[in-house]
Structure 1
């Protein structure tokens, strides 16, 4: 598997989240992995759970989603997770497909049984989902694998984030990456508050990324401009496949654009610099300067009628314009001549 390079000196690390976009078909999942690789992403991520490891099969009100604004309004938790889960029997084939397509592959486990299941694949890192970032027992178990941890921060307070990081570090986690996240599906741009990325980086002194549930790619590009080094986005090979996550997922054309534009944003950041690049220096000639715009005879005074500040920049700097007015020409000067001091009698 290729190396995992995450940090400001590397291009953004782009994760395509498969989640429930397979819609119950392993062929859809394989197509999405192939499509993600063609888009130029760095990694593919699965979610490892079953309905039974997430909740219980109950129609009591605690277990029902009753929110008319939710994509999943009317589902029971059990039915939603049953529909969205990636069968564990698929994992080996999907990880092999990712490897074959040159992608880094890993998963989000949700309980001890899923961690134990995933150990056989020797994954290079794990992710903690937003809804599990206060499950300190889960974080403890993942930290003990000694693998890098990505932790999504949706729903978490600053105190809870600190507690999660402390738990991870105390149990052996050497590398922690935090993802700014708004746990709303889809999330509104006005609610994602990307300025938080800078605060998190300063506060916790680790790499900060962005788990993006907005529609489109604008927020991801803005996140990179704010210092995000990891971008996670739900992905499907075909947005006409009506899965539980498709409303906030990208299709291939959008994902390709996200990869390109986040890398453009990263490359554009550069450093604090005021010296000119080699290509800029060649354009200095197009600055304004003082030119003769009407033929001037020897001894004739310079005036606003025979001088003008125009492009290109081969003449005297425009700051001398008023100083030169009423001075006399040392010799005859043709129209279109860049004015120099040796043409001026003083």
Structure 2
């Protein structure tokens, strides 16, 4: 059987700035059976200029003239509110995660909230200082790769590797020039088992993402090229893409969820509703069981059916001992309690070992 799939229920900013709603989302994720629920830790002042425009999917209408800064300000949660969410997760037995969008936020999540792993958003794949800081935590890193080219993924990995080596006292350089990054890259697996340290998530940054834009096979290219575990950050509608991703090797999947897909906010429309989240997790739990192992053999549950549905060699006519058996003398019938019908041409043309009556199983 394949390994357990780690399912992240992505609450993101679907709390719309309300910690009470965020706590209810924790409860929903826990009840659905997800392994972790994930939020987003950011400060609008540290993330976007006041002049930064909204993305198309963030607009509530064509005449929405807010800036990204305006939108993000409405969706912030305080450190105290994140502590409440961490505690809520602990009480519900689900892992608390949050994506940090700046180094101060990452430090808060690691040192004060004790997150067990770091998530880097697709938009920050090129945010080198944050990548290095993520490596320096020494924690496992989940790296989303929406909008990325393969060369950008490798470069991001180099910065994380450099940070990880720094955390182990194995890299002294302050300025991470290309030469320093190349040195860290060459040493990454020998000294820190880097391939086991970072899980790379394939992703299409579109909300919701259309089927023809998902390109799920790229996940296998990522796995083959870098030798890391891979996963899928799913922005499509429904659960099918994630199910297929697990079939293609994803060990981590994440999916946005909400109480109301029609609610105002940037991610609700591409999210699962409560019933959808429960079905999503249930579907994903079935996939590793269905995939089983790479060995092809008769399953124990099949053994009793072999004799019932397979065939034996049967005398189609009365056959005398020593007579040369012809095609017309042999037929193949159920059950498979006699000589296997694989032996048809071993019997036809050979002398009968004894007398056979019509309908009798051929056993010699």
Match of 1:178 among 200, 204, 207: 200
Deviations 1:230-275 (A, max 9, x none): 0011122444544431111112322222223223222333333233
Alignment of structure 1 residues 306-325 onto 2, 5 Å: 308-319=331-342, 324=348
1:341 alignment partner, SS class: coil
Displaced runs of 4+ in structure 1, greater than 4 A?
296-308, 319-332
Conserved 8 A contact 1:84-1:244: no
**Separation in 1, partners of 2:267, 2:78:** 17
Higher helix share: 2
1:18 alignment partner, SS class: strand
Give the stretch that moved more between structures: 257-266 or 209-218. 257-266
Conserved 8 A contact 2:319-2:329: no
Deviation of 1:76 (Å): 2.2
Alignment of structure 1 residues 133-282 onto 2, 5 Å: 133-172=125-164, 175-239=197-261, 241-282=263-304
Gap change, CA 1:243 and 1:334, over 3 Å in 2:
farther
**Separation in 2, partners of 1:226, 1:66:** 31
Question: Is the aligned partner of 1:97 residue 2:120?
Answer: no
**Separation in 1, partners of 2:216, 2:123:** 20
Conserved 8 A contact 1:143-1:172: yes
Match of 1:128 among 120, 123, 126: 120
Deviations 1:23-43 (A, max 9, x none): 232222111111111111111
Match of 1:49 among 39, 42, 46: 42
Deviation of 1:326 (Å): 12
> Which residue pairs with 1:4 in the alignment?
none
**Separation in 1, partners of 2:53, 2:129:** 25
**Separation in 1, partners of 2:319, 2:216:** 65
Conserved 8 A contact 1:19-1:84: no
Q: Structure 1 regions of 5+ residues with no counterpart?
A: 1-7
1:275 alignment partner, SS class: coil
Deviation of 1:298 (Å): 6.8
Deviations 1:140-193 (A, max 9, x none): 122222222111111121121111111111112652121111111111222222
Conserved 8 A contact 1:134-1:156: no
Question: Is the aligned partner of 1:31 residue 2:24?
Answer: yes
Alignment of structure 1 residues 290-309 onto 2, 5 Å: 290-291=313-314, 308-309=331-332
Conserved 8 A contact 2:39-2:97: yes
Deviation of 1:207 (Å): 1.6
Q: May I ask how many residue pairs the two structures share in their alignment? A: 325
Q: Structure 2 regions of 5+ residues with no counterpart?
A: 166-191
Gap change, CA 1:326 and 1:53, over 3 Å in 2:
same
